[in-house]
Amino acid sequence: MTDYRRLFDLTGRKALVLGAASGIGKAAAEALAAQGAAVHCADLDLARAQATAEAIREGGGTAAASRADAANGDDVAALVARAHASLGRIDVAVTTPGINIRKTVLNYSEDEFDRIVDLNLKGTFFFLREVGRIMVAQHSGSIIATSSMRAFTIEPGLAVYGATKAAISLLVKGFAAEMGSHGIRVNAIAPSIIETALSAPIKTRPDIYDTYAKHTVLGRWGQPSEVGSVIAFLASDAASYISGSTLLIDAGWTAIDGPPTGLTQVG
């Protein structure tokens, strides 16, 4: 009989999380550590990455931290080399950094466009390329990138951001096709409305905040821990037959056309 509990266990695994200072990246680092992985926590904000690592250690886990700019290819390469040297191998690699400038296309400057593409898309490319090289040499690994439900459904002011997230999902598909023969799985997550620093400005507008919540079938915003747990699943052997996928974590946002009306009767 299959030991299903063991499939979720990450004891002995070595993990790198880029974006571990806050939000989904922090939750990912915590979730991986809780399942037994040793975690290297990286972020542009070194102090907060160190705080994440310290909290993991205080909880009985194993973690270290270092600084890296996810939008800088040389920084990402140095980070992966540093984490590999420290951990001895990289079994799980997660990247979460992303930014948005909410403007219509007609009002976007070229510099603003480049900022979004450089971090969201090029940053993901740098990360996949560098950890992929390590994992090919060891013939195993699980890589998890961060897309968004905005790769599938959009609203005014999010076209550029959504375009990068859609590109990440396709990049993951292509990279998964290239890495499968090396025993490496590549997937992406696509969260919807999660309470993070990126979405914090919306919380200052209760009318918009509540409207968004009502657009989900669960009627609420999600927490970073609810995404971190999915990342831990994708990292584990419980997801051993999943690759090239973008897993929606959206509380049904993309399952319905518009907000629930409340007219449906149950029973």
**CATH number of the domain that 105 lies in?**
3.40.50.720
Q: What is the pTM of this model?
A: 0.94
pLDDT at residue 265 in the model? 52
- Per the DSSP assignment, residues forming a β-bridge with 172 are none
Asked, for residue 254, whether it belongs to a domain, the answer is no
Q: Show the domain range for 199.
A: 4-249
The pLDDT of residue 144 is 99
Is residue 38 included in any domain, yes or no? yes
Q: Is residue 209 annotated as a catalytic residue, yes or no?
A: no
CA distance 37 to 45: 22
- Report yes or no on 258 lying in a domain: no
17 in Cβ contact with 243 (< 8 Å): no
- List the structure tokens of 260: 């629930």
**Looking at the domain assignment, is residue 267 inside a domain?**
no
* 99 in any annotated domain: yes
Of 161, 209, 212, 241, which residue is the catalytic one?
A: 161
The low-confidence residues of the chain, meaning pLDDT below 50, are none
Q: Is 262 contained in some domain? A: no
200 lies in a domain? yes
Q: What is the pLDDT of residue 201?
A: 83
If one counts the domains in the chain, the total is 1
83 located within any domain = yes
Task: Return the pLDDT at 199.
Answer: 79
